[in-house]
Structure 1
């Protein structure tokens, strides 16, 4: 296994910073002193709650051989450093520099819902043919995407990224760092309306992923989503692969049977029997998105059902738990109107109304329409559940 190996001066040149001290070699990048490994470069990023500059000394004591900072006064005497004006931007620049050195197949997944599930399944499907890395957890922002790139090795043959931003230009910027040849858009729903105003604004932000693809790149698109279809129509990409529930899609689910909490079964493109252990028809769409991307990247459809049947829902994404006779559908990573409706639909298929209980929290970043969205979900919940908490 070949680890990342860069010098302080090479890093300074890559990010437009100034090198200080000895030109040491580091073998990785870390932002967290709790997980930092000896020999790594510590990048002091300022977040909403913590400023990494306050932990520079602790990082050195934990084994960091150098640091990247915006405040040179935070660097202990004698410690090699790269001094920049903005460590967050410099982290992105360093990742872009690293990505340019690597030759591998790359897919990126964006959309309002289903990104993590699609990314996780796609990573496993690609692993049947290639040495594959994929973003851990929800490493999908201007910190997570660069860290995922910096964790890649020359021996890796494929990588899967997840991209989520709440501002215009954000998806294009992150895609420019990881440079995918395949872009997946799962759907366009009512998310980040506080910043994007309406679904059309959300669609514009998601469409940026296709703008970042090379001319011979592939767009993997949801045929059952009107706004995604419009994104495809406006895109100049020649290769568009569509997934959906009808045979009009390139990758589709036939003979679908919803088994409630036991999952869903269907025939992939009429030919391959699939048993998906994840509950909900919405997860069939996530599955089809992953299958379509994997097929474009060289995985045979016939090899997919075995991987799909073993696949489990990522943590906090409609994960099924049994608790002393109670079936808990744990779906609390995030929420928007469509994701809550999908969860309630699974609940409806899981038991009689008198046995259904919904415990719901706030749906955030919905802007001026937030109250109306919450009322609509409340009315729906009252119709399908016996109790609401």
Structure 2
């Protein structure tokens, strides 16, 4: 494998001292996931990474970046000694960014950061070596880790940046130094830490402060906070503002989005030219973010036409709209349950988008006990919504997409408000937590049903997803409607 960091390069970047020479082919902060040749960074977080240095080295790590020598470690152990391991990881990230000629796009937003990051990865990969985090590494350690892992020969880099509080994005965007900054949307998320949506908009706009000279901002024109974002962009010196949305004044304007079982067909007008784009996942929200992706691709200097072709093969990541077919033969039934996995996170905006996808889905008739396939939602608590959290949960009952659903099951104390607000013909089972709901899944679903599972990460709705998959033989539903076979 290609060397990512020599000990001399790592010493120069961090100001640290190597106990012996090493060549690292990767960077890791998790001793359980260390691969041979990694530089293991002993961060202090919930647990002290220094306690796992010996295990990381035994697993094949080339060296460990530490602020102290762990007790009992062999004197010959390859270490890079620094004053502070997080600061050293940031320094590695800054050095990796400085030594590459990559064109960098940074992505933030209240909803859709990770799926948009993955769209950008798919759109750019056919046009050159593209680097992006494999997970949602978007916080104070995730961004520097993503940068530190960036190979020198990278042509395009996609950096996801998230936040829970004001001031968190600013240092991360200045570390990433993007050529393009993309904001997917501003919505009432993390309201426990903000007094208003306007404050969230200002916090998201911090991403603009790290733009390289001559950089471009890609902004959501339909969002009620667009004017705030645009004013902030101009104030920090951004000359190029690219707008996406449904307004005639958009650089990329959505004319129509037609979701189907194999994806979404998007009719758009981009820079005055008509365009027909296929996205390999159903959902108007995916189509809208695809417009932002195509604007960002062009601003990076890549070919948007080639990017549009690549989006046809893209599919939503696990927990963020991925689709599964669970064949029920192990239960002695013909047919299958179709699962939309939205279990990673939830807020009123993203739940509404997921409900629209479910409402537009096509269940299969003639297989199960109910004969007619159903559209079923299993919704867990939406967290960090602040003082209006009960009203926001209750308000989901009035979402237009609800009228197309057959049953809505709810999980958690906050979702009890939605359960009570639903009409009796749509009101399903309520469970106090996801563990209880997971045990109920077998009797709540039937062959032909389409079920969408969504909730905040803290609601642990992945348990429910696992229970649905355990009904039979799960296989991913790919954009073209073909599956890859049973999930191992």
Both structures adopt the same fold (TM-score exceeding 0.5): yes
Q: Give 2:427's aligned residue.
A: none
Q: Give 1:54's aligned residue.
A: 51
Offset, 1:35: 2.9
Q: Give 1:67's aligned residue.
A: 64
Offset, 1:164: 0.8
The answer to whether the 8 A contact 1:69-1:83 is kept is: yes
Q: Distance in 1 between matches of 2:21 and 2:308?
A: 50
Residue in structure 2 matching 1:34, options 29, 32, 35: 32
Q: Distance in 1 between matches of 2:260 and 2:23?
A: 54
Change (3 A) 1:127 1:277: closer
The answer to whether the 8 A contact 1:141-1:165 is kept is: yes
The answer to whether the 8 A contact 2:96-2:151 is kept is: no
Offset, 1:340: 0.4
Q: Give 2:486's aligned residue.
A: none
Greater displacement, 378-387 / 337-346: 378-387
Q: Give 1:297's aligned residue.
A: 300
The answer to whether the 8 A contact 1:354-1:385 is kept is: no
Q: Give 1:314's aligned residue.
A: 317
1:146 matched to 2:144? The reply is yes
- Once the two structures are superposed, the pairs formed by residues 274-293 of structure 1 within 5 Å of their partners are 274-293=277-296
DSSP-derived class of the 2:158 partner: strand
DSSP-derived class of the 2:267 partner: strand
- Once the two structures are superposed, the pairs formed by residues 326-341 of structure 1 within 5 Å of their partners are 326-341=337-352
Q: Give 1:372's aligned residue.
A: 391
Offset, 1:286: 1.0
Q: Distance in 1 between matches of 2:229 and 2:198?
A: 10
Q: Cα RMSD (Å) of the superposition?
A: 2.4
Offset, 1:12: 4.6
DSSP-derived class of the 1:252 partner: strand
Give the TM-score normalised by structure 1: 0.90
Greater displacement, 68-77 / 154-163: 68-77
Offset, 1:280: 1.7
Change (3 A) 1:181 1:258: same
Change (3 A) 1:51 1:250: same
The answer to whether the 8 A contact 1:218-1:241 is kept is: yes
Change (3 A) 1:292 1:34: same
Q: Give 2:407's aligned residue.
A: 387
Q: Distance in 1 between matches of 2:385 and 2:403?
A: 23
The answer to whether the 8 A contact 2:123-2:308 is kept is: no
Offset, 1:325: 4.0
Identify unmatched segments of 5+ residues in structure 2. 327-334, 364-371, 410-488
Change (3 A) 1:354 1:384: farther
Q: Give 2:456's aligned residue.
A: none
Q: Give 1:358's aligned residue.
A: 377
Give the TM-score normalised by structure 2: 0.73
Greater displacement, 90-99 / 106-115: 90-99
The answer to whether the 8 A contact 2:107-2:159 is kept is: yes
Q: Distance in 2 between matches of 1:276 and 1:10?
A: 41
Offset, 1:206: 0.9
The answer to whether the 8 A contact 1:264-1:275 is kept is: yes
Identify unmatched segments of 5+ residues in structure 1. none
The answer to whether the 8 A contact 1:2-1:155 is kept is: no
1:321-370 deviation per Cα after TM superposition (whole angstroms, max 9, x unaligned): 33334332221110011000111122222359993321000111112222
The answer to whether the 8 A contact 2:260-2:361 is kept is: yes
Greater displacement, 354-363 / 290-299: 354-363
DSSP-derived class of the 1:360 partner: strand
Offset, 1:186: 0.5
Q: Distance in 2 between matches of 1:280 and 1:192?
A: 24
- Once the two structures are superposed, the pairs formed by residues 196-275 of structure 1 within 5 Å of their partners are 196-236=194-234, 237-254=238-255, 256-269=256-269, 270-275=273-278
Q: Distance in 1 between matches of 2:106 and 2:388?
A: 30
DSSP-derived class of the 1:271 partner: strand
Offset, 1:2: 4.1
DSSP-derived class of the 2:379 partner: coil
Rg comparison, structure with higher value: 2
Offset, 1:249: 0.6
The answer to whether the 8 A contact 1:65-1:79 is kept is: no
Q: Distance in 2 between matches of 1:299 and 1:348?
A: 36
The answer to whether the 8 A contact 1:12-1:82 is kept is: yes
Q: Give 2:413's aligned residue.
A: none
Q: Distance in 1 between matches of 2:387 and 2:246?
A: 33
Change (3 A) 1:298 1:72: same
Q: Give 1:15's aligned residue.
A: 14
The answer to whether the 8 A contact 2:169-2:203 is kept is: yes
1:18-38 deviation per Cα after TM superposition (whole angstroms, max 9, x unaligned): x26334443432222233233
How many positions carry a matched residue from both structures? Answer: 385
DSSP-derived class of the 1:274 partner: strand
Residue in structure 2 matching 1:349, options 360, 366, 369: 360
Q: Give 1:102's aligned residue.
A: 100
